Structure 1
């Protein structure tokens, strides 16, 4: 019997596992995908090789990507879910952006704009309560001010010309712009100073080498130990710490990671009139054999789609009907500015500049290599720009109606991706109960009934739609002020990129699944350790840092409530994942 079992080795599971293993607990982590232990040889720079949803190495599917099909989800609307299987999970795709949530989405906020947020679905604890956990994660990853280049300077020029002030704190308190707080190591040595690949090897180069391929998972600089790779996706940060805990924590023990282990059921029993989690059942995706393991505590960290599927397939209690509901993102949109000057769009960290608008959301500059740039220009709810208007295309501060770009215009724009600046719109989205994960009536797969993701833009609240239009107008104004000769708006369809809240914590038991420490309301000893637990869309900022801070808070609560430990955030200092002892453990073969 284990102390703790964690389902999922993505953005949140390794956070919980690392913290508990470093305090001496026996932790088992189950990951449905493969372990990427040699990314320099397992990954590539080819965008289709990485991102193809059928056989890309970052698909959501089993390890053998050429012989076995991906795992299926039913999507009844025109949409696509950016999620993958494997160690590190969807943090392989993320750009390392690590802003804190807006204070207005927490229960203790009393600012004059307190009614501008989703006040019906606030976090059940205060923003000030979360700050020590933010600081803990920021020190562990670590989070630093992003390294910047030409595309960021173009974005800042537009913000300055609009009169936006610079935010010099980690807290978002007013309309402002700033460099990203980013979980990507600063370039050192030859990094960022040369294009000679032979000189971009560790230790001559350290940190971000400005390769521009953040979406493909980070293995830069070449030959660096795994925990010294530039982007702090969890398989470069928390996972190595989890697997070397006994080396750098005096009382620690190494957690165990099992790959190709698709969890199919949460095991429970009745104790004293309560339902209590007692373990997990999983299927080996390579052999088809089934296994079970018991534990004192179970943590779900499989993502916002798979967590509710597992809950429903396990027959766990759902008395208020909110399991899987509240599938919340940032109602995202995309604008592109075309410039007569070099912007360096394809170079450097993919997103290193942002502007925040409390009560509305945020916008952030994004740089992309050519294939991903083309992909963004083909996603639209508004028909074909200039050729086919389906009646939806909004008109505003951009050139003509919104819509996908095709033909000669597409060729002209893609002729030089380094003359473009992209802006991603991150809307403060209301929690919508009807956006949800349900069990599909389609035939089950080998792991049970498949999930049906019901997710629409058109049904969003009036406040969400207002926020999206406001932010698109602000993004267009920034591009115009920066000197763009053409500004295009895509009017993205539902593209769940930043997903939250399908097992949300909340202040009201009538519309939440978890209590204030992310423990299930109706199943004792069952916790959630990823974005599924978030109460709302954070006001618009990227969710990973907040999910990891909440997961750290949850791990501390597990340790104190069920294992008699003492709180640590007030009495200990966090250890950085860059610690030399972690490096030595990796070089000795603990990971990669």
Structure 2
């Protein structure tokens, strides 16, 4: 019997696995998708090869790319951009690590308290969360993002918004700042040249400014895996988990199984208490089923697959909140056409932000050509100047909302990708019970009934809708201030990237799945550690840091509750994921 089984090696699972392995527990980490152990040999920078949702190497599907991707049913025009494989969706994220806003935690007494979703707060204080933020920030490590021309132009626009420079990691008011980013700062030749012979480790370290963050990071050339620039968990927490015997006194390496799709969580009933006992997983290559038992099971399969697995396992759901509260950030996209060079396609994907706690945030996002074209086409408002699907709006931007076509699209593309400036609108959304994951009535796949996402993405609360309009108009103001000669608002259809809270932790057993320790209210020894455990939309910030900080806290609770150990975050100094001991052991292991 294992001590702990962790289901899923995305943003949260490897955190729990690494922390508990460092304490000497026997941890099995199961991942449904593949592990790309040598990305420079297995990946390319070709955008379709990477990002095609059916055939790309960054998709939700098995390791064998000749086999079809796994399917989810959606009930509206939306795109669930979630990945399988070691690293999960962090493989293509931009490494942004802002802290959640204080107003989403229990006990917040700020003057702007009413600006938040006060019905669905974290069941502990912001101050209690800070040591876990700090632990993850040191481990990853999180640093002030490397910046270039596009950030300089973006900040020029921020200066016209009438808000100050934010000088702390804790966002207590409106302000703009560089991103707190889990991408290693450029060193040596990195960021100074595009000559490939000079961008080889150790001549170059950290971010090489290649501009291909979304295709998975494999820079610099020849860098050890834990020295690759972008700190997705396949480059940070997973290498630490696999080498815990080297850097942690008494540590034990995690056992990692990939292409291992868990389709059943086992449990037993004794004296009216339901207790998790283990899992069954399916080998994607052979179809063989394997049973593993453990003292504790941790679900880290993500906001869509965790509810599916729970429901397929017939685990108890007495308050009907499993899968409910499926919350995003109601993104929108605003683009400015500039007269001068912006460097939109160069460097770190997103290195500058502007925070409006209680409303959301604005991020500069740089993109390569195909993804830039994708962002211009993802509209709920139809065609600008043509049809508007009943959603078309006019405002401080130029013309109606919608996607540009014809001469206007030609104008944008001929203008040049490196004279565009993009602003991603990130809205703080309310947790809404009608947005949920259920089992689809469509035919099951090899792993059981598939997930149906009932996401009423256009039917938002009045607060959420007001937040989006507030933030979109701030984005337009920013771009005008930066010098944009034309500003286009796309009115994005729901793009499910920052999804969270479908298995939420809460203050009440009437509207949450997890208690304050991250343990399932109705199944003992079953924990959840990923975005689905988050209590709410965080006030608007990107969810990865909050996910990993909460997962660290959950690991401590597991260790104390079921293995008799003491908490460590407030007592020990974290080991940084770029530790040379880890590099050496990975090389010894051929990784």
Q: TM-score, normalised by structure 1?
A: 0.99
Partner SS state of residue 198, structure 1: helix
Aligned twin of 1:5: 5
Aligned to 1:26: 26
The question of whether the paired residues in 2 share the 8 Å contact of 1:9 and 1:88 is answered with yes
**Preserved CA contact (<8 Å) 1:248 1:581:** yes
2:362 is paired with a residue whose SS is: strand
Q: Aligned pair count?
A: 590
SS of equivalent residue, structure 1 residue 177: strand
Q: CA deviation at 1:393?
A: 1.2
Per-residue CA shift, 1:363-386, capped at 9, x if unaligned? 100000000000000000001012
- Structure 1: give runs of 5+ residues left out of the alignment: none
Q: C-alpha offsets along residues 211-250 of structure 1, whole Å, 9 cap, x if unaligned? A: 0011111010010000000000000000000000001111
User: Matched residues in 2 for 1:420 and 1:146: separation?
Assistant: 20
Query: Which residue of the partner structure matches residue 414 of structure 1?
Result: 413
Per the alignment, residue 225 of structure 1 pairs with 224
Match of 1:527, SS?
Answer: strand
C-alpha distance in 2 between matches for 1:397 and 1:317: 50
Q: Distance in 2 between matches of 1:108 and 1:93?
A: 35
Matched with 1:103 is 102
The equivalent residue for 1:272 is 271
- TM-score, normalised by the number of residues in structure 2: 0.99
Partner SS state of residue 280, structure 1: strand
* Other-structure match for 1:202: 201
Aligned position for 1:188:
187
CA–CA distance in structure 1, aligned partners of residues 54 and 84 of structure 2? 13
Give 1:503's aligned residue: 503
Instruction: Give 1:525's aligned residue.
Output: 525
Residues 377-404 of structure 1: CA distance to partner in whole angstroms, max 9, x if unpaired? 0000001012223221121111111001
Work out the CA distance in 2 between the residues paired with 1:272 and 1:203.
60
Q: CA deviation at 1:569?
A: 1.0
* 1:450 equivalent in structure 2: 450
Please list, as runs of the form range in 1=range in 2, the aligned pairs for 1:370-381 lying within 5 A after superposition: 370-381=369-380
Aligned to 1:83: 82
Rounded Cα–Cα distance in structure 1 between residues aligned with 2:6 and 2:161: 47
Deviations 1:38-89 (A, max 9, x none): 0001110100000001100011011111x21100111121111011111100
Secondary structure of the structure 2 residue equivalent to 1:515: coil
Contact 1:370 1:414 in 2 (8 A): no
Q: Which residue in the other structure is 1:320 paired with?
A: 319
Structure 1 residue 125: Cα displacement: 0.6
- Listed as ranges, the matches of 1:56-67 within 5 Å are 56-65=56-65, 67=66
Deviations 1:494-548 (A, max 9, x none): 1111000000000011000000011000000000010000000000000000000
Q: CA deviation at 1:270?
A: 1.6
Is residue 465 of structure 1 aligned with residue 459 of structure 2?
Answer: no
Q: What is residue 295 of structure 1 aligned with on the other side?
A: 294
Q: Distance between the aligned counterparts of 1:162 and 1:115, measured in 2?
A: 23
Structure 2 partner of 1:53: 53
- Give CA-to-partner distance per residue, 1:188-223, whole Å, 9 cap, x none: 000000010111010000000000011111010010
Partner in structure 2 of residue 281 of structure 1 = 280
Secondary structure at the counterpart of residue 425 of structure 1: strand
Provide the C-alpha distance between the structure 2 equivalents of 1:445 and 1:266, rounded to a whole number of angstroms: 17
Residue matched to 1:307 = 306
- State how 1:148-187 maps to structure 2 within 5 Å: 148-187=147-186
Residues 321-355 of structure 1 show CA distances to partners (whole Å, capped at 9, x for unaligned) of 11001000101111001101000000000000000
Partner of 1:432: 432
Query: How far apart are 1:163 and its partner, in Å?
Result: 2.3
Structure 1 residue aligned with 2:559? 559
Distance in 1 separating the partners of 2:62 and 2:288: 14
Q: CA deviation at 1:164?
A: 1.8
Contact 1:322 1:513 (C-alpha < 8 Å) held by counterparts: yes
Q: Deviations over 1:414-444 (max 9, x none)?
A: 2310000111111010001111101000111
Alpha-carbon separation, structure 1, partners of 2:569 and 2:27: 20
Using the alignment, how far apart are the partners of 2:445 and 2:213 within structure 1? Answer: 32
Q: Is the 8 A contact 1:28 1:255 kept in 2?
A: yes
CA separation in 1, counterparts of 2:55 and 2:357? 40
2:475 — aligned with what? 475
Q: Secondary structure, in 3 states, of the residue corresponding to 2:556? A: helix
Could you tell me whether the CA contact under 8 Å between 1:278 and 1:294 is conserved in 2? Answer: yes
User: Counterpart of 1:138?
Assistant: 137
**Helix, strand or coil: the match of 1:69?**
coil
| Unmatched runs of 5 consecutive residues or more in structure 2 | none
Q: Measure the CA separation in 2 of the matches of 1:317 and 1:414.
A: 53
Q: CA deviation at 1:161?
A: 2.1
- Deviation of 1:272 after TM superposition, in Å, equals 3.4
Q: Secondary structure at the match of 2:586?
A: helix
Could you say what the CA RMSD is over the residues aligned between the two structures, in angstroms? Answer: 0.8
Q: 1:93 aligns to what?
A: 92
Deviations along 1:257-282, one digit per CA (max 9) or x if unpaired, are 00010000101012332100011111
Task: Specify the alignment match of 1:120 in structure 2.
Answer: 119
